[in-house]
Amino acid sequence: MLAIFKREIQSFFTSPIGYLVIGLFLVLNGLFLWIFKGPFNIFDYGFADLSNFFLLAPWVFLFLIPAITMKSFSEEKKLGTLELLFIKPLSIWQTILGKFLGTLTLGIIALVPTLLYVYTISQLGTTVGNLDMGLVMGSYFGTLFLMSCYTAIGLFTSTLSENQIIAFIVGLILCFLFYYGFEGLSTVFGSGDTSVFIAKLGMKHHFESVARGVLDTRDLVYFATLTFFFLFLTVVQLKNTNR
């Protein structure tokens, strides 16, 4: 598994992919948060907090992570090298986890420079340093959980077709449905227990819960279950392909 993980990281940074993903993430967030006028602009917002960043980041990763994972197995299928993965002295689970951790690590590397935002915002407040670090840390944890789900979904969709564009589009649609789709569907039922239940099926509800700074076991179980579910589907799909 470690060998697969290292290979994934090396493939990201020996080609423009890793630099492009990190650059796009930072540039898009920087433009919307600091330059472009609009609802995400921190100066227009009027409050020295990072809530706008954590509203924007899930949407940016929703596009970027499927773009990273789309070639994970699609490329192997297209080049005819997928069979080589099955004869290596590694289980399918180890191969998938290596690719999963490699992509997740790239996402974490993209997040690290945004810690500069934390310092900047803390200095912009009326009282310097008056920033709720509990909320900030909770939001970062929530973003990591979201990224793990996006990555698992992206790996699964990359096993469905040797066409990377198809893998990207299907991954994008599934990430959108699980992030916002259930919340959008819940509005059809108005308010009530049914609406709340449907909203809880989506990642957005649990992300916002973690972002409040409280790590609820139910939220952790939700993200872990969803991640494992799509990794399991990836294993099943690869085994079916090998038959």
Domain boundaries in the chain? 1-242
Whether 10 shows a pLDDT value over 70: the answer reads yes
Q: Has residue 79 got a pLDDT over 80?
A: no
The pLDDT score that the predictor gives to residue 84 is 67
Percent of the chain with pLDDT over 90: 34
Distance separating alpha carbons of residues 158 and 60, to the nearest angstrom: 19
Helices (H), 112-192: 115-124, 133-158, 164-176, 182-186
* Tens-place pLDDT, residues 83-108: 666 666 678 888 899 999 999 999 89
Residues in the chain: 243
pTM as predicted: 0.90
Taking residues 189-211, what's their average pLDDT? Answer: 85
Sign of the dihedral defined by the CA atoms of residues 210, 105, 148, 187, in that order: positive
